[in-house]
Structure 1
């Protein structure tokens, strides 16, 4: 999974060559509105179209992101973890860390590459359609294998096709959403994470004894949503861009990191995501081996309880955090405070192994992480260097999401193995969240 900033990635323009989003542009970026003719400015801020999303695009983006996160949560968070445990119960922690880390490399590579290719083609829908439809046969393959090597290969393919889908889908926002609609867009796309997480957890729990069917259900959801999105969210072709030499493209991927504010935003995101996934990726095993569950409540059922609880908290803080940061024009304050809140949440199960502690963790962590992702998305849209490199620079930012997911499984399994339990893992993740909160302080161009 390459966790994406819900709809971030570019400066709020509709087409390459327009100006970057003004520093005062409202709101966390996600979601969609207002397509214009290719090559023309997104909108005039004084026009009606500058404040009204194109009819139907917001719910379509919500649906597209919901399907994506349903698969991202249902597969590694439940089905894949159970499948790996069945293959080798004694080595499940190390094996899950290995599979997750290797597959995350594919997410890291395919996301920015697919984004750059869609930039060059001037189209998003064909890439969304290809990635989404390929998810179905890949999920069929994943459900049919029964060795660690084949599981790794199949999930790497899953990460590859889903990140083609994700890179193009998140680029719809900077292409078609005028700055004045960013607050509502944030709510629409940002809600895809909690809603999709809940669906993924429930599907995973429902098919915990039948992996193949569970994988097929999640793949079918993505494929069906893809067809719906590309059929209904029509796009106007942007001017295709001439291909660049490979060396130039590689250098271009790192050029955004030369910008002072973008570099600190990148670092803060990477630290928080590393702490988040060090714990989130092992949630099923934590419930089995660390938490004292009530009698009659299995770990799979516990996940199905925690995820909706977390999702509700995340949905509330996503919408509220985006709105408040718009109203007070204080992005750094909300980003730092929400990252600190996530750190506090991680301390709760570190000091208590009770089921109540895990419930509290789920709610507080959802509040912190939801607000962080919504407001940090807004902050990032204001510090991205180039409007004409929308998807490419978004892909660079998504390395801060996907890159730590490579490190997190290896690091988490190492911490658990060396410490003999999960308490040290929670404490380590809390420290990373605090560092993520502090990383936004040096940013200069955003309050």
Structure 2
């Protein structure tokens, strides 16, 4: 595996794939790939990048929010909360490991196809395999394996896509570019929900068919993006020799040396954790507290979940565009991230106080608006505090861990709280949403110490 990436000195065994030829005197760090981008990133390029991100996220949201919970109920109805928590924990752990590793390997890749495009293809192929496993899962262990493989190797695709903004977009455009790319999340939620609902109706609830449709979308869109994306291969002479010890040590970013990066990591972790704790169990909240199917006979929990995803996504789209453009216009990031976090908290708290379907719909709209505002600006903020241009992929992988670890902690935490209050299910959910609100607010407060970004 080492030979596939930049390795070594003169006289070493040549790489199996053709590499860019450059003078031996080229100094690491001076290559154009490591320079701050100055050329404008066109609107068309931003929209195509957003489309590629939609293809990725459509493998995440409708599967994790609709298909997998339904499969868990079918396989283990009595222990659905614990089983879903176990599956989500393994999947999140795979993502935590995969994100920085894929990012770091992407930074070092010297294949002729390019460092980012190569890993987009790897992630697409392995992601399609994982979706096939999920589509045909006949047991909970098989479902867990499919989800874990998808998260681990899907990180390769995410690593390539995430690095495009710091690699190609100048800082003056990053608020708008981040907003447009962030639209991939709500659009994937809307399109994914519509796609899954339509396929399930057409195939009489054949879950495998929904997975197959998602695979087609993933392969076609990412294939087109990779085929049309222009990327210069990274010469091996500009990358240090691969040394396992140094490779592993690079994953540690000293908070004292890079405090802004550390605060950016911590605030994202807290905001996403609070959001995940609150939203992660909405599916079962509808079953256990709202009693949705009792109040609305003939309708399913999956339909209700899809409705909430669409409501949230619509408001997310509005907020993402508004906050992203305003952030670029004013060249300010921190105030918008703090405000967005506060809006998320404002949407979570009512779920602990009022238990009606109408309130859940209102909360979904508020949370969606807050999360959209957050996504539209936080990505821009993060790309402006990355420690070293040579390590953009790895450092973004570390930032992505701040989004992935909540997925590891939130299901177990939620399951623990609900189980501790098994004698009063409603109380358990109330405490869950109150704690989620407090966590998000703490994340908002910790944005303020960041000094290098306004």
Comparing 78-87 with 198-207, greater Cα deviation is found at: 198-207
Query: Which aligned pairs between 1:205-354 and structure 2 lie closer than 5 A?
Result: 205-207=197-199, 209-240=205-236, 241-255=239-253, 257-258=255-256, 259-293=258-292, 294-296=295-297, 297-354=299-356
What SS does structure 2 have at the residue aligned with 1:71?
coil
Shift, 1:225, TM fit:
1.2
Shift, 1:39, TM fit:
4.5
Q: Is the 8 A contact 1:336 1:440 kept in 2?
A: yes
Number of residues of Structure 1 aligned to a counterpart in Structure 2: 409
Q: Is the 8 A contact 1:60 1:233 kept in 2?
A: no
Query: Which aligned pairs between 1:41-440 and structure 2 lie closer than 5 A?
Result: 41=35, 43-44=37-38, 50=39, 52-54=40-42, 56-122=44-110, 123-207=115-199, 209-240=205-236, 241-255=239-253, 257-258=255-256, 259-293=258-292, 294-296=295-297, 297-420=299-422, 421=425, 422-440=429-447
Shift, 1:242, TM fit:
3.2
Cα pair distance change 1:149/1:232, threshold 3 Å: same
What SS does structure 1 have at the residue aligned with 2:163?
helix
Q: Is the 8 A contact 1:70 1:201 kept in 2?
A: no
What SS does structure 2 have at the residue aligned with 1:242?
coil
Q: Is the 8 A contact 1:38 1:238 kept in 2?
A: no
What SS does structure 2 have at the residue aligned with 1:103?
helix
Q: Structure 2 length normalisation: TM-score?
A: 0.85
| Separation in structure 1 between the aligned mates of residue 235 and residue 247 of structure 2, nearest angstrom | 18
| Separation in structure 1 between the aligned mates of residue 305 and residue 384 of structure 2, nearest angstrom | 36
Runs of 5+ unmatched residues, structure 2: 1-27
Runs of 5+ unmatched residues, structure 1: 1-15, 19-36, 45-49
Cα pair distance change 1:91/1:233, threshold 3 Å: same
Q: Is the 8 A contact 1:78 1:205 kept in 2?
A: no
Match of 2:11 in 1: none
Shift, 1:207, TM fit:
4.6
Among 426, 431, 450, the residue aligned to 1:443: 450
Q: Is the 8 A contact 1:256 1:262 kept in 2?
A: no
Q: Is the 8 A contact 1:114 1:163 kept in 2?
A: yes
| Separation in structure 2 between the aligned mates of residue 264 and residue 85 of structure 1, nearest angstrom | 39
Q: Is the 8 A contact 2:315 2:372 kept in 1?
A: yes
Match of 1:17 in 2: 29
Comparing 285-294 with 164-173, greater Cα deviation is found at: 285-294
Shift, 1:327, TM fit:
2.6
| Separation in structure 2 between the aligned mates of residue 227 and residue 93 of structure 1, nearest angstrom | 37
Comparing 267-276 with 286-295, greater Cα deviation is found at: 286-295
Q: Is the 8 A contact 2:308 2:361 kept in 1?
A: yes
Q: Which has the higher contact order (CA 8 A, sep 6+)?
A: 1
RMSD: 2.0
Q: Is the 8 A contact 2:133 2:142 kept in 1?
A: no
Comparing 294-303 with 57-66, greater Cα deviation is found at: 294-303
Q: Is the 8 A contact 1:342 1:369 kept in 2?
A: yes
Deviations 1:312-342 (A, max 9, x none): 1111111111122223333221111111111
Shift, 1:117, TM fit:
0.7
Cα pair distance change 1:295/1:43, threshold 3 Å: closer
| Separation in structure 1 between the aligned mates of residue 438 and residue 43 of structure 2, nearest angstrom | 44
Deviations 1:99-143 (A, max 9, x none): 100111111111110111111014111210121123222211111
Deviations 1:386-421 (A, max 9, x none): 112110111111111111211111111111111233
| Separation in structure 1 between the aligned mates of residue 268 and residue 394 of structure 2, nearest angstrom | 17
Match of 2:7 in 1: none
Comparing 92-101 with 299-308, greater Cα deviation is found at: 299-308
What SS does structure 1 have at the residue aligned with 2:230?
coil
